[in-house]
Structure 1
Amino acid sequence: MLKKFLLFIAASLMAAGFAFAQVDVNKADQAALDGIRGIGPAMSKRILEERQKGGSFKDWADLENRVKGIKEKSAIKLSANGLTVNGKSKQGAAPQAAKGGKAAQADEKQEPARK
């Protein structure tokens, strides 16, 4: 029983590590792109086709201009979910772990600063 429990914990930790991995849009294959929350098979196909047709994406603005369905707001969400362009996150994207967790909610409930 203990061995199964420890195996479950080890597998969970490994899966959590993969969930927060960064994926560069210029290096990723379709499976890696599909692993990003907010990118489905259709969008990953559009990204790969555009990358093949026009070469690597220079920056986030280039990605937004060339790929249908990726604009400022969705780019920020994709970046927060681990997508990068040339290893860089989109400016204005909060890290995934900091969004909506219990710690973030607890910070909001702290008493106001004293004067």
Structure 2
Amino acid sequence: MTALDGILGDLAAKPAARDLDRSLSCRLTDLGQTVRGRLARGVVQDLRAEPDGSSQDQADIRFTMASDDLVALTEGRLSLGPAWASGRVKLEAGFRDLLRLRTLL
């Protein structure tokens, strides 16, 4: 949770994210868990972990990655943009959100 809060917090702190109000999820494939929360007013709020499949993922912005990649992102050994481009991190969102997120990556 700390690693995910750090990564999402970095994104949320950027000026382009200040006007966003979106639900978020991050599925950690190797742990069988999905972390859900909300990005609003430049802050990530209400992060909570749930087992995979406990509810249908309807988040506006959805990340999927292995926990090792999440830790590598947090420690600065992996950058989000290249990780996304190489397929290590999957990002799903609506077209407008993807355009805005592109400026954050």
TM-score class normalised by the smaller sequence:
under 0.3
As a proportion of its length, which structure holds more strand? 2
| TM-score, reference length from structure 2 | 0.28
| TM-score, reference length from structure 1 | 0.26
As a proportion of its length, which structure holds more helix? 1
Larger Rg: 1
